[in-house]
Amino acid sequence: MKYYLIAGEASGDLHGANLMKALKKEDPEANFRFWGGDLMKAVGGIEVKHYRELAFMGFAEVIMNLGTILKNIKRCKKDIEAFNPDVIIFIDYPGFNFQIMKWARKKGYKTHYYISPQIWAWKEGRIKDIKRDVDEMYVILPFEKEFYEEKHNFPVHFVGHPLIDAIYNRTQVDPETFKKENGLDERPIVALLPGSRKQEIKKMLEIMISVAKDFKEYQFVIAGAPSQEKSFYESFLSTKNVHFVTNKTYDLLSISDAALVTSGTATLETALFKVPQVVCYKGNRISYEIAKRVIKLDYISLVNLILNKDVVTELIQTDFNTKRLKEELTKILDPYKRATVFLEYYDLEKALGGRGASENTAKLIYSSIKESK
């Protein structure tokens, strides 16, 4: 069968690739065409556009790039019609995907949504679009099933979180070998995860690296995003005690003592590697002021949202400064604090439902499409 997938971010590329692998097991004749990244490309099929050309961050940035976004939507619709897939699989990325989803429903395509957009955080009114335009929804956070089914009377499938599979299936690196290959010394590591988009990386790294001089017994290592060239990071590497690796985030986290992490999927990845962290966020001021008024959440990190309590410290906007970051990093390097964080992380993993998310989703998609033929 023919599958058309749309992922617009690095995390979507990872989950899309694992879903494609699982679909191949169910359907050896699977034919993929997709908007995604290098990981999806490695599985096979035809890449239409890379997510690095799609990622615009915040309200202000979206408005400034509206022309490009509209051209991409038009191109996507034409490409779907030419390919004529048996199913379109939307992977998160709601701003773009909702536009395609509405059109696809009118055209009679099967619409499956893997990884629900976070409408429980903001734009809850989008539930009308989902009820109207989505055939099957696959959710990966435990509270999302309750949100959809009990609050909005819309049946969904809770499939577990695909990050657990991605982390479990990787090959563990040898710490000494990793440090040697990447020009690092023997000191313990503080990982810096500044995000994947250029706008956020610049904002985050300026403050993250400002504390490096105060922790000389540690080495700070930037996890470079696969979507960005090393040259983009060069200006940050002149700071003493700051190093760089690219496209090795999981390997880096697996041997790190602590991490400074930009809000998003990376907070959950860091927790699943059992690394104490400080969650950081600083956006465009206009975007932030708008978001503050429309997002109805007590937390911004998935770790705190899933456990519904303050497990990891969140430094947001003006709170994200050198002084506060230094204080919070000092805390998570303390042995007693670390022990309490580890216990919370084990509870988090239990709440996420264990392994098998990609396989569960692939089975459900394949059987649903097969039955409808």
Mean pLDDT of 158-180: 92
- Residue 95 has a pLDDT of 84
Domains of the chain: 2-160+356-372 (3.40.50.2000), 168-351 (3.40.50.2000)
5 vs 37: CA distance, rounded Å:
11
DSSP 78: H
Residue 69 three-state SS: helix
pLDDT tens, position by position, 187-237: 999 999 999 888 889 889 999 999 999 999 999 999 998 878 889 998 888
308: left (phi over 0), alpha (psi -120 to 50) or beta: left
pLDDT tens, position by position, 225-281: 887 888 999 888 888 899 999 989 999 999 999 999 998 889 999 999 999 999 999
Q: Label residue 286 by pLDDT band (50, 70, 90).
A: low
Question: Residue 145, Cβ neighbours under 10 Å: how many?
Answer: 18
Mean pLDDT of 23-27: 97
CA dihedral 240, 241, 245, 248 (to 10 degrees): -160
- In this predicted structure, the answer to whether residue 169 has a pLDDT above a threshold of 90 is no
